Amino acid sequence: MSIYKSAVNRPVTTLMLFIAVIVMGIYSMVQLPIDFYPEIEPPFISIMTTYPGANASDIETNITRTLEDAFNAIDNLKEINSVSYDNLSVIFIEFEWGANLDEAANDLRSAIDMVFDALPDDCDRPSVFKFNTAMMPILFYAITAEKSYSGLERLIDEKIINPLNRIEGIGSIAMAGAPRRIIYVDIDPKRLDAYNLTIEQIGNIIAAENLNMPSGNVKMGKMEYQLRIQGEFSESYQLQNIVVGNFVGKTVYLKDIGSVRDTIRDLSIEERINGQQGLRMFVMKQSGANTVKIIRQVTNQLEELIKTLPPDIKIEPIFDTSTFIKDSIRNLSKAIMWALIFVVFVVLFFLGRWRATFIVALAIPVSLITSFIYLFFTGNSINIISLASLSIAIGMVVDDAIVVLENISRHIDRGSSPREAAIYATNEVWLAVIVTTLVVVAVFLPLTMT
């Protein structure tokens, strides 16, 4: 017995199957993450290497060319571009589409290991970065302060970032333009000469004093305790009392040859928001997380966390991707709704039957809801691309429904009962309907696999 004949002869079973599919579709739709774009991993990897104190020419000769030569033998390599700056080498590598970037990144790290000994001794280890749309910030905040500006980074890190990082789906939270604490030791050259000391000696002494040292362990019964000497400075004023030398029997302290300044590092780029000094905070999500849900949780929790900060600190949103996501999805949803309405009127105008029009109108939401099951099990999200695809698919659904209904109506006009007409008419066109639908699926299915 054919599927369509069984469906007509067993209406209760058919109805229950449709209800089950609709329930699964609604569940999948609720569980799907909402994002602006689908996650895309373009075939690009960058390698950054820092070499403090070197000019661009030295960077090009000693680092960039060495690494480029090592990368030439990597599989699926399409193109290499590089830029050498003072203190920094940046290499951009493009791979063929479809290449496994995890394997490519491992190959790059292996190539770096092979030539690392040939790089200058003072350069840092090259860092490998992959690009992914999930790495883009979903929230930008502007943070300003007046009296609390000098300690703003520590306050935001302890009071805001640490609690927000506990939200499920948060990838990372970063700051830019934060005032960094730095301690300067200003040495008087005349006093330095008078005590027969050098800058190198002072630097080595400070480094040696500012150090925690392990000092063995102690056994007490069955317990064993690790010991260490706490040598790091907890406050900047402690530096002044470091012994830096001995002159004619007199102990020389750091305060005898200079002064200590506890201040903020000089900024190469000054952050100002509405004329006030401040910093920016970026929120990144984990891959596959629901952008709209995360932003809602961050916003709600941030309202409570702000109450724990000093009153002069202000946090204001600069950019919220959920606003664009919700607006775009709302507009596309309206477009789909209008498409449904227009389709109903067009079908009613040409077929002239309310029952047939109702069946066509019912086929559209059922098919759209069913598509969410596929999106859910393939790990996709609701985004402007998937919604635009659904709006295009409405045409195919309506075409198939009209073809079948028109043939059923023709059999009814010839005197067949509705049950017989449904069986005979579907038997005549089912192959054409399925084949045309599968052709469209075959065209677009590979796009979902990339």
Phi/psi class of residue 169: alpha, beta or left (left: φ > 0; alpha: ψ in -120 to 50)?
left
pLDDT above 60 for 450:
no
**Same structural domain, 343 and 429:** yes
What is the C-alpha to C-alpha distance for residues 236 and 257, in angstroms, rounded to an integer? 16
Length of the chain measured in residues = 450
Tell me which amino acid residue 204 is.
Answer: N
Higher-scoring residue by pLDDT: 163, 424: 163
**Same structural domain, 307 and 171:** yes
Q: Is the dihedral of CA 405, 409, 411, 416 positive or negative?
A: positive
pLDDT on residue 85: 86
Look at residue 77 and tell me if it is in a domain.
Answer: yes
* Burial (CB count within 10 angstroms: exposed 0-12, middle 13-18, buried 19+), residue 394: buried
**Same structural domain, 330 and 432:** yes
**Same structural domain, 154 and 286:** yes
Look at residue 318 and tell me if it is in a domain.
Answer: no
**Same structural domain, 341 and 430:** yes
The pLDDT mean for the chain works out to 81
Tell me which amino acid residue 117 is.
Answer: D
**Same structural domain, 83 and 49:** yes
Task: Specify whether the CB–CB gap between 279 and 171 falls below 8 A.
Answer: no
pLDDT on residue 125: 87
CATH number of the domain bearing residue 352: 1.20.1640.10
CATH number of the domain bearing residue 53: 3.30.70.1430
Q: What angle do CA 303, 318, 128 make, to 5 degrees?
A: 105
pLDDT on residue 325: 80
425 alpha-carbon distance from chain centroid: 51
CATH number of the domain bearing residue 249: 3.30.2090.10
Domain that holds residue 56: 44-131
What residues pair up with 314 in beta bridges, in sequence order? 144
What is the C-alpha to C-alpha distance for residues 163 and 92, in angstroms, rounded to an integer? 36
pLDDT on residue 270: 62
Beta strand extents in 286-399 (DSSP E only) = 314-320
**Same structural domain, 232 and 357:** no
Task: Specify whether the CB–CB gap between 393 and 372 falls below 8 A.
Answer: no
pLDDT (average), residues 200-213:
78
Look at residue 37 and tell me if it is in a domain.
Answer: no
Spell out the residues 6+ positions from residue 323 whose beta carbon is closer than 8 angstroms to its own. Answer: none
Task: Give percent of the chain with pLDDT exceeding 70.
Answer: 92
Residues 368-422: tens digit of each pLDDT: 888 888 888 887 888 878 877 777 777 777 777 778 877 888 888 888 887 888 8
What is the C-alpha to C-alpha distance for residues 280 and 175, in angstroms, rounded to an integer? 6
What residues pair up with 283 in beta bridges, in sequence order? 139, 173
Task: Specify whether the CB–CB gap between 115 and 47 falls below 8 A.
Answer: no
For the chain, the 3-state helix, strand and coil shares in percent, each to the nearest 5, are 55, 20, 25
Look at residue 213 and tell me if it is in a domain.
Answer: yes
- For 325, other C-beta atoms within 10 Å of its C-beta total 21
The helix (run of H) or strand (run of E) holding residue 186 is: strand 181-187
**Same structural domain, 332 and 423:** yes
Task: Specify whether the CB–CB gap between 39 and 380 falls below 8 A.
Answer: no
**Same structural domain, 174 and 290:** yes
Of 311, 306, 264, which is closest to residue 141 (Cα–Cα)?
A: 306
What is the C-alpha to C-alpha distance for residues 170 and 41, in angstroms, rounded to an integer? 19
Instruction: State the alpha helices, DSSP H only, in 211-290.
Output: 254-257
The helix (run of H) or strand (run of E) holding residue 399 is: helix 384-413
pLDDT on residue 424: 81
pLDDT on residue 24: 92
pLDDT on residue 266: 61
pLDDT grade for 187, boundaries at 50, 70 and 90:
confident
**Same structural domain, 289 and 172:** yes
Residues 67-126: tens digit of each pLDDT: 888 888 888 888 889 888 888 889 998 888 878 888 888 888 888 888 888 888 778 888
pLDDT above 70 for 267:
no
**Same structural domain, 168 and 289:** yes
pLDDT on residue 311: 83
The helix (run of H) or strand (run of E) holding residue 270 is: none
Task: Specify whether the CB–CB gap between 108 and 125 falls below 8 A.
Answer: no
Domain count within the chain: 4
**Same structural domain, 86 and 187:** no
pLDDT above 70 for 448:
no
Q: Which residue has the tokens 């040696």?
A: 208
CA gyration radius for the chain? 34
Q: Which residue has the tokens 């012994």?
A: 243
Residues 61-76: tens digit of each pLDDT: 888 888 888 888 888 8
Look at residue 317 and tell me if it is in a domain.
Answer: no
Q: Which residue has the tokens 């739709």?
A: 29
Q: Please give the torsion angle defined by the CA atoms of residues 239, 240, 242 and 243, in that order, rounded to the nearest 10 degrees.
A: 160
Residues 278-333: tens digit of each pLDDT: 788 888 888 777 888 888 899 999 988 888 888 888 888 888 888 888 887 787 77
* Structure tokens given for 6: 């069984």
Domain boundary among 312, 340, 375: 312
Task: Specify whether the CB–CB gap between 245 and 192 falls below 8 A.
Answer: no
8 alpha-carbon distance from chain centroid: 49
Look at residue 319 and tell me if it is in a domain.
Answer: no
CATH number of the domain bearing residue 289: 3.30.70.1320
pLDDT above 60 for 268:
no
What residues pair up with 84 in beta bridges, in sequence order? 89
